[in-house]
């Protein structure tokens, strides 16, 4: 059973609009949660890492939130751009970086 679930599976939005991607996890013990962006035909690139004590972290137009009590995280994208079209993957390590659980990703398409 996958311990990291993401929703929606895919999303299409108009350029300039905002969107929110969801990640629920059951990985335990929890140390941190990561969001990666994977452009088509490319490798995943780290957007943010959130530790247990962090509720919100921003990286430009990307803002990630974490609720360790409900084991949920969200990635909010503001004023979307065409270049935001990609898969966004939620990743949760169990202990350290050597054992990672990947979500299946949300495929975001931004259209003009």
Partner 1 sequence: DTAVSQTPKYLVTQMGNDKSIKCEQNLGHDTMYWYKQDSKKFLKIMFSYNNKELIINETVPNRFSPKSPDKAHLNLHINSLELGDSAVYFCASTTQISGNTIYFGEGSWLTVV
Cis status, amide bond into 8, omega within 30 of 0: yes
Torsion region of 11: left, alpha or beta (phi above 0 gives left; psi -120 to 50 gives alpha): beta
Nearer to partner 1, 81 or 99 (CB): 99
Residue 98 near partner 1 by CB under 8 A: yes
Please choose, out of 12-20, 57-65, 68-76, 102-110, the segment that lies near partner 1 by the rule CB under 8 A: 102-110
The count of other CB atoms within 10 Å of the CB of residue 89 is: 22
Taking CB under 8 A as the rule, does residue 83 contact partner 1? Answer: no
Asked whether position 30 contacts partner 1 by CB under 8 A, the answer is no
- Indicate the residue among 79 and 97 with the shorter CB distance to partner 1: 97
Tokens found for residue 14: 């108009």
């Amino acid at each position: 059973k996958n311990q990291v679930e993401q929703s929606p599976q895919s999303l299409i939005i108009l350029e300039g609009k905002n969107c929110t991607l969801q990640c629920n996890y059951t990985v335990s013990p929890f140390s941190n949660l990561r969001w990666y962006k994977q452009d088509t035909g490319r490798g995943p690139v780290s957007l943010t890492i959130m530790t247990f004590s962090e509720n919100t972290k921003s990286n430009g137009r990307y803002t990630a939130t974490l609720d360790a009590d409900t084991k949920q995280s969200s990635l909010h994208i503001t004023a979307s751009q065409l270049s935001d079209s990609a898969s966004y993957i939620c990743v949760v390590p169990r202990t350290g970086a050597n054992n990672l659980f990947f979500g299946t990703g949300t495929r975001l398409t931004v259209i003009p």
